[in-house]
Structure 1
Amino acid sequence: MMWQQFLMGILGLMAGFIIASGTVAFIISIGIVPRYAGITRTASRVRWYENCCILGAVAGNFVYLWQGHLPFGTFGLALYGLFAGIYLGSWVIALGEVVDIFAILCRRIGLTRGAPFIIICMAVGKTLGSLLYFYKGWAN
């Protein structure tokens, strides 16, 4: 009985590593990491960024499986929320760029100036919507 539980635990952990690896490979393949490295002019550190993505996915698996509480307090929660928001925003923008949604939208509505302003407004709207969602307690 204990041997079966141990085997199931190992298989579950391996499956989690596979899913996390696929997620990281997808993030890298859509170009989030190289785009950020190009914007920040740190292209020589792309491999380090990719390793951090993999480490973050593995650490996320362990934190998800661990049933305890992390002793980081309110500041740690706010910091985690900031980084999670940056991560989610990166996904939204990268996926939008992959399908060229912004270029198509700007061409269809005849927008020639102000595209960066529209993108910033979308990000601010998403942030304010998330804050309102959690402030009102709609998550419960």
Structure 2
Amino acid sequence: MWQQIIMGIIGLCAGFAIASGAVALVIGLGIIPRYAGVTKTPEHILWYEDCCMLGTILGTLAYLWKGSIPLGVPGLVLYGVFAGIFLGSWIIALGEVVDIFAILTRRIGLTRGLPWVILAMAAGKVLASLLYFAKGWW
């Protein structure tokens, strides 16, 4: 029994360490200040960082907890919409910080059709996500 308790504590600490590293990467890249600049709320940067850490901790705990919250399909749809908005906004903020599209287009010589490339990437992500969840590959 003690071995299981110790392994649980070690696993929880490892999860917190990995999640904190991911948050440190997001903060270290300057995504949060850029996100605050885009939304014109630079006075809330510390609050954004606190929410990022709190979300990481709560997400880790929610992943480990195998219970369910009985909100039904409307709750699932609402969660999906907000999670998609959140993830999309962070992806856009990361793209602006590292300028990956500018570097990619310059290196491959893409001068026309960049909006179509971005649209194709977004459509591919959506279709792959739908296929992933429809097939139950999790």
Q: TM-score, normalization: structure 2?
A: 0.75
**Compared with structure 1, are the counterparts of its residues 105 and 10 closer, same or farther at alpha carbon in structure 2 (3 Å cutoff)?**
closer
* Aligned counterparts of 1:91 and 1:57: Cα–Cα separation in 2: 16
Q: Give the Å deviation of 1:29.
A: 1.4
Q: Give the Å deviation of 1:117.
A: 6.2
Match of 2:41 in 1: 42
Count of aligned pairs = 136
**Compared with structure 1, are the counterparts of its residues 129 and 13 closer, same or farther at alpha carbon in structure 2 (3 Å cutoff)?**
closer
Match of 1:61 in 2: 60
Verify the 8 A CA contact 1:20 1:58 in the aligned structure 2.
yes
**Compared with structure 1, are the counterparts of its residues 110 and 69 closer, same or farther at alpha carbon in structure 2 (3 Å cutoff)?**
closer
**Compared with structure 1, are the counterparts of its residues 52 and 21 closer, same or farther at alpha carbon in structure 2 (3 Å cutoff)?**
same
Match of 1:85 in 2: 84
* Aligned counterparts of 2:40 and 2:18: Cα–Cα separation in 1: 30
Match of 1:104 in 2: 103
Unaligned runs of 5+ residues in structure 1 are none
Instruction: Give the alignment of 1:1-140 within 5 angstroms.
Output: 1=1, 3-89=2-88, 90-91=90-91, 94=94, 97-98=97-98, 100-107=99-106, 108-111=108-111, 115=114, 118-135=117-134, 137=135, 139=137
Verify the 8 A CA contact 1:32 1:94 in the aligned structure 2.
yes
| Cα RMSD, aligned residues only | 2.9
* Aligned counterparts of 1:8 and 1:138: Cα–Cα separation in 2: 29
Q: Kindly, what percent of the aligned residue pairs are identical?
A: 54
Letter in 1 for 2:58: A
Q: Give the Å deviation of 1:46.
A: 0.7
Q: TM-score, normalization: structure 1?
A: 0.74
Q: Give the Å deviation of 1:58.
A: 0.6
